[in-house]
Amino acid sequence: MISTSDFKTGLTIRFEGAIFTIIDFQHVKPGKGAAFVRAKLKNIETGATIEKTFRSGEKMERAHIEKRAMQYLYSTGEDYIFMDTESYDQIILMKEDIGDGIRYLKENTVIDIMLYEERPIGVDLPNTIDLIVTETTPGVKGDTAAGGTKPATLETGYVVQVPFFVNEGDTLRIDTRSGQYVMRV
């Protein structure tokens, strides 16, 4: 059990039957009345964000999340098969468990799978991932200085807006948090 005075950004707690990670928190001591903690929590399983106010010193259960490196092997419709890189055990994650991370998954990519009580609850993608452009309109000479963008399809099928100078076959670094182009590698 932990107290609200022990809150830290990134800490995982069990609250109202679900597992949340603390995104942001603030201890408030008003001039009149008892102190309290205002926290912004993200549900790990659904991705929903809520704001909650706790009494100062309130106790709750800490959730121990284990991260295990696993290699993405293949998908069969709604099922995504991953293999533990140490024990070679395979697990199946549903499309809902991965969320937006599906658009960055390519075969043989190693990512961290989050486990709670040995049950997979989601994926922890790296902040950036490198993907190859498979389709885009060719760049025209003179377009490199203009600040415009064009759509480009990546090897996973994800479409991202890129600068005019990007061509097919280029490797791009994509930010997995925002889904945007970062740079050409």
- CATH number, domain containing residue 136: 2.40.50.140
Q: 10 and 27: one domain?
A: yes
Share of residues in the chain with pLDDT > 90 (%): 1
Residue 4 has what pLDDT? 81
H-run or E-run covering 95? helix 95-98
In whole angstroms, give the CA distance from residue 181 to residue 163.
9
Q: 94 and 139: one domain?
A: no
**pLDDT reading at 176 higher than 70:** yes
The helix/strand/coil state of 76 is strand
**pLDDT reading at 151 higher than 60:** yes
Number of domains in the chain: 3
Give per-residue pLDDT as tens, 57-116: 888 888 888 888 899 888 888 888 899 888 888 888 888 777 778 888 888 888 888 888
In single-letter form, the type of residue at position 23 comes to: I
Strands 171-175, 65-76: pairing kind: unpaired
Q: 21 and 56: one domain?
A: yes
In single-letter form, the type of residue at position 78 comes to: E
Q: State the DSSP code for 63.
A: P
User: What distances in angstroms separate CA 50 from CA 20, 28, 41, 44, one per listed residue?
Assistant: 9, 18, 5, 12
**pLDDT reading at 26 higher than 80:** yes
Domain extent for 172: 128-184
Residue 139 has what pLDDT? 67
Contact of 182 with 128, CB cutoff 8 Å: yes
In whole angstroms, give the CA distance from residue 73 to residue 143.
39
Residue 168 has what pLDDT? 86
The helix/strand/coil state of 124 is strand
Strand residues in 16-137 grouped as ranges (E): 18-28, 36-43, 49-55, 59-62, 65-76, 79-84, 90-94, 110-116, 119-124, 128-136
In whole angstroms, give the CA distance from residue 96 to residue 83.
18
In whole angstroms, give the CA distance from residue 110 to residue 140.
36
Q: 14 and 27: one domain?
A: yes
Residue 185 has what pLDDT? 82
Residue 93 has what pLDDT? 85
Q: 164 and 133: one domain?
A: yes
Average pLDDT over residues 110-138: 84
